[in-house]
Structure 1
Amino acid sequence: MAQDFNNKVVVVTGGTSGIGLATAQAFAAAGAAVFITGRRQEALDAAVKAIGGRVTGVRGDMSQLADIDRLYDAVQQQHAQIDALFANAGGGSFAPLGAISEEHYQQTFDTNVKGVLFTVQKALPLLRDGASVVLTSSTAAITGTAAFSVYSATKAAVRSFARNWMLDLKDRKIRVNAVSPGPVETTGLVELAGPDAASQQGLLDFMAGQVPLGRVGQPDEIAKAVLFLASDQASFINGIELFVDGGMAQI
């Protein structure tokens, strides 16, 4: 049974590429009115065109509270409530212990932790009772990766948010779940290897070797999991971490 989001309002942060873009496309195809965010206007415009349907792009950096306010102001101009929120905006870069700068720490935590926290908190007045919130965590939260400790710590925090927020929001019957992708072929992943195409392919090949299915994931595969968690089909699923990783975190 396909998820039906007709007459539903959905917000997807970090919706201009990768998992966010694929998920926004899937929500729009399922009939939702979708709001996406992105930091660069050119990328935001391109994403809105690619998504089609009832989609609105709001430029903003989710680590900045004023930008989050502007997002929800844009939603309120068109709708009275939000049915589903996918707090997805995030990112990271390599830095081994001994070379971690204060800037690296602050940027990663501001984007992945502060941004997620206030994206959800500031949505509360608009979230309808019974709404669904999905957070993007990562298999990195429970597996060790050299030179990736700061990013991994932020994703562990995100997973903890889901476990605690479902209790804070239980009286409103708002479900909060986390999706934890494994390696997914996105611009954000391949750019960790730098600009060289051969190095990027080498990273993908290495990551594929860590996955029992023998390949990296595709953004639309994560999108399907997010739509499930956000849908009525997951009405009795709350506070979980859903791994979409080809089995990587299970071995």
Structure 2
Amino acid sequence: MTAKTALITGGTSGIGKATAELLHSRGYRVMVTGLRDTGDSGLPEDVITVRADAGSMTDIDRAVEQAREHLGSLDLLHLTAGVSRPGPVESTDEAAFDALFDINVKGNFFTLQKALPLLNEGASVVFTVGAGEGLGAAMTAAKGALLPLMRSLALELAPRRIRVNAVSPGLIDTPAYSKLGISPDTIASWGEGVPLSRVGTPADVAGAVAFLASDGAGYITGDNLLVSGGMGVHSRAA
């Protein structure tokens, strides 16, 4: 039986790395992109790592060409590369605004466009949308743009039986928080406000991505799966 293949952007840390590890353990041939040095990811040796900036068209082209050479075709494209630039409107400069849209929106769009010829019939595309609310207007706009993009692509690619979905993580303990200077104790304390009484892990989101990529989700497209420990339900009920 031929192994399934996956390309994961932003796959050298956090949610992308956890997804790569899970899929690899299930027999996928996996390639990841990221800004880390390729030998510094801690992933299994046979996971292909390519250093690439998700906001660079040159890097996107090179990464997709590497996927063509090493994997041939794709059963899953997981678009999880992203950047955070939180801040209120009055302190958001043009550079921060451009970075948010260049990587979170433009980068994801053109990675999918370039990878489209590699996607097998019946393949799965999964966006990681993440949270933007409470982190500033520009951050919210950049994250929010991915959901209508995902739904439009689901309709556009349906004739090829390519399913396009999203996962929206809630409070997930990833390296992004430490980069913002938030302590582990503070992150853990946030779990007290989550209905399941804990902060999520990247592995929680990886499981959702793996489900959306599986045959068990074969009739699911254009949907957004919340991985929030109940916070999504809590916010709708409030």
Same fold (TM over 0.5): yes
Q: Distance in 1 between matches of 2:109 and 2:155?
A: 15
* Match of residue 4 from structure 2: 8
164, 175, 178: which one aligns with 2:152: 164
Paired residues for 1:183-222 under 5 Å: 183-192=171-180, 194=181, 199-201=182-184, 203-222=186-205
State yes or no: 1:71 paired with 2:40. no
* Match of residue 40 from structure 2: 46
* Match of residue 24 from structure 2: 28
Mapped contact 1:11–1:35 kept (Cα < 8 A): yes
Q: Distance in 1 between matches of 2:107 and 2:190?
A: 28
1:167-225 Cα shifts (integer Å, max 9, x gaps): 11011010000000001111102322x2xxxx423541453233111211011111000
Q: Distance in 1 between matches of 2:30 and 2:117?
A: 18
TM-score, with length taken from structure 1: 0.88
Q: Distance in 2 between matches of 1:17 and 1:40?
A: 8
Q: Which amino acid aligns with 2:166?
A: A
* Match of residue 93 from structure 1: 85
| Alignment RMSD (CA, Å) | 1.6
TM-score, with length taken from structure 2: 0.93
1:49-84 Cα shifts (integer Å, max 9, x gaps): x32163111110011111111111112213331111
Q: What is the count of residue pairs matched by the alignment?
A: 234
* Match of residue 55 from structure 1: 47
* Unpaired runs of at least 5, structure 1: none
162, 165, 177: which one aligns with 2:165: 177
Q: Distance in 2 between matches of 1:190 and 1:215?
A: 18
SS at structure 2 position matched to 1:130: strand
Mapped contact 1:29–1:53 kept (Cα < 8 A): no
* Unpaired runs of at least 5, structure 2: none
Give the deviation of 1:108 after TM superposition. Answer: 1.1
State yes or no: 1:224 paired with 2:207. yes
Mapped contact 1:191–1:200 kept (Cα < 8 A): no
Q: Give % identity.
A: 41
Give the deviation of 1:46 after TM superposition. Answer: 2.3
* Match of residue 114 from structure 2: 122
